Structure 1
Amino acid sequence: MSWMDDGGFEVKTFARNGVTMARMSFRTATGNYDVTLSKTEVQRIRRECGRILKEMEASK
């Protein structure tokens, strides 16, 4: 099982002052790390992931 499958990484939404945000959590051997993201930041991450996936497919 990978660290993503066994709960080492997750993204959840939550509301703060009426604004929906996302919390990205990483669990590692050295601790837990939480990053709060706005909708715009999630969209940027999505674009970057798409770009990286295209590069990985092109290098096959």
Structure 2
Amino acid sequence: MSWMDDGGFEMQAFTAQDGRPMARMVFCTSTGQTYFTLTKTEVQRVRRECGRILKEMEETK
């Protein structure tokens, strides 16, 4: 199993106090947990970059 399957990575959507949609990204490592709070725009940027990297990886097969 990968570290993602073992719960080493998690994302959760939530609503900020001012009503904006937000996401919490958590990375769990042997040294502890690191939390990132992302806006909807930041999540969209991460998604776009992941798509770009996946496309690049497919081209190099």
For Structure 1 versus Structure 2, the TM-score category normalised by the shorter chain is over 0.9
Q: Equivalent residue for 1:25?
A: 26
For structure 1, the 5+ residue unaligned runs are none
Q: Distance in 2 between matches of 1:16 and 1:2?
A: 31
Contiguous gaps of at least 5 residues in structure 2: none
- SS of the equivalent of 1:43 reads helix
Tell me the equivalent position of 1:9.
9
* Deviation for aligned residue 1:13: 0.7
RMSD over aligned Cα atoms? 0.6
Opposite residue 49 of structure 1, the aligned amino acid is: C
Q: Deviations over 1:17-53 (max 9, x none)?
A: 1212000000000110000000000000000000000
Structure 1 counterpart of 2:14, one-letter code = F
Q: TM-score under structure 2 normalisation?
A: 0.94
Q: Which stretches of structure 1, 4 residues or more, deviate above 6 A after TM superposition?
A: none
For residue 54 of structure 1, report the CA deviation from its aligned partner. Answer: 0.5
